[in-house]
Structure 1
């Protein structure tokens, strides 16, 4: 930028510099999040090891198979790649608080002070709810669904699931239940940011119930048990989100009043 630059040129350069600084900040945050996942992945790969992590993941399926039956691997490198993918998934879950913090730190400079106070509760609650969703899926849904499916298997066949197909199924279910358990956080954010009023969310209960069963029918296997296990918690968590949103919105009225009087309207 030269000293003889015209005012119009200065006005054009300033937005460009701001945009570039945002890109640099975004790159920095992404690199930190990826680095956290890689570090956790290396630690888990060394101990307890990729094979041990996959064996733990496969326990619900193995428990439903006939005694002595094992899973199979049809690909040449599948016995190596599948445990590595499982370890990477576990590393992402362990590093999820750091990933969420980096995402929040990127958008935090554009928020008010009272909005920043939501950072830690949102990060902790989002991480906890996602892990709870995966745990619910692993300890309850998998065992129930696999046992339900095994009861319909003809006696003339011996089930031997492929480990790659099993991993694909498990990751889909983990994501479905993990995201489902984030519904309270989504409801609180919608109300807190003023995007949707609490009364409108309450009046949309019927649509939420229908949508929950539609989503469950698309995501889960084509059996009634797994569909109910996803749809029912989604509806319950939606009600929990409405309750939390009412508590948060009523508790923040004083803060909002201070913002309107100009006490907290300055950006950082």
Structure 2
């Protein structure tokens, strides 16, 4: 039948998606018992800087139950990323040329490690500094009582921003490999890249100079790293169209 290949692809896609969902569910089930402990660990940078006698609060009736599980689901999704990427790779690999396969595997691995690195940097460096700054500038007659749900949303926004920003070397390598730009051309645009990094920091992070700066500077350094790595990659050649899959 003419639609058999398409049907086979759809069936394989369904199988890959079901495996991905099952992986997330399994990891979530394994972490669910520790949901409150995980949230306490996430809140540590804030709790450590709260004034004596103050604590976090829950303004919603169901927040003490649902918020830790929301965090647990996000953690399960993050931990399952390597398996999810493997399923994606297994699905698209048959349609790639050999030169593309040689590029995709290291890019998938490095992008995963960089994403985790961005989250780790945000948790161990950015959050303690930001929380210390926020709690220290509060007016003397204002009691600090942060809502647990709002804190989670704030932290997740920080994590996503830094995780994406740390993908800069991967983006640089792809630009060079695809022929969109060259390492020399990107190097000449360094001043604009630095300004752009601070602009992105202003957009992606909460409105405080600490988070913005701590995002912009790593983006700039990662841009330089991407240039160094990108010099080793040659632009994709037209001959790749003639390669056998």
What's the counterpart of residue 93 of structure 2?
108
- Deviates further, 186-195 or 87-96: 186-195
- The residue correspondences of 1:59-98 to structure 2 (distance < 5 A) are 59-98=44-83
> How many Å separate the matches in 2 of 1:26 and 1:190?
28
Question: Once the 2 structures are TM-superposed, how far is the Cα of residue 187 of structure 1 from its aligned partner?
Answer: 1.3
Match of 2:203 in 1: 218
TM-score, structure 1 length as denominator? 0.84
Aligned to 1:127: 112
Stretch deviating more after TM superposition (55-64 or 144-153): 144-153
Q: Which of 12, 19, 35 is the aligned partner of 2:22?
A: 35
Instruction: State the superposition RMSD in angstroms.
Output: 2.2
Mapped to 1, the partners of 2:4 and 2:198 lie a distance apart of 48
Structure 1 distance, partners of 2:195, 2:10, is: 40
Report the counterpart of residue 212 of structure 2 in structure 1.
227
Please list the CA deviations of residues 119-146 of structure 1 after superposition, one character each: whole Å capped at 9, or x if unmatched. Answer: 4422321121111100110011001011
Change in CA separation of 1:127 and 1:261 when aligned onto 2, cut-off 3 Å: closer
Provide TM-score, normalisation by structure 2.
0.91
- CA distance in 2 between counterparts of 1:30 and 1:200 reads 40
What CA distance in whole angstroms lies between the structure 1 residues aligned with 2:16 and 2:116? 23
Inter-CA distance 261–141: structure 2 relative to 1 (3 Å threshold):
closer
Matches within 5 A, 1:163-182: 163-182=148-167
Number of residue pairs matched by the alignment: 245
Within the candidate set 165, 177, 187, 2:172 is matched to 187
Q: Partners in 1 of 2:11 and 2:178 — Cα distance? A: 27
Does the C-alpha gap of structure 1 residues 30 and 196 become closer, same or farther in structure 2, counting only changes over 3 Å? farther
Larger radius of gyration: 1
Q: Which residue pairs with 2:243 in the alignment?
A: 265
CA distance in 1: counterparts of 2:23 and 2:167, whole angstroms: 22
Q: 1:215 to 1:107 in 2, by over 3 A?
A: same
| Structure 2 contact 169–222 (Cα < 8 Å) conserved | yes
Structure 2 unaligned runs (5+)?
Answer: none
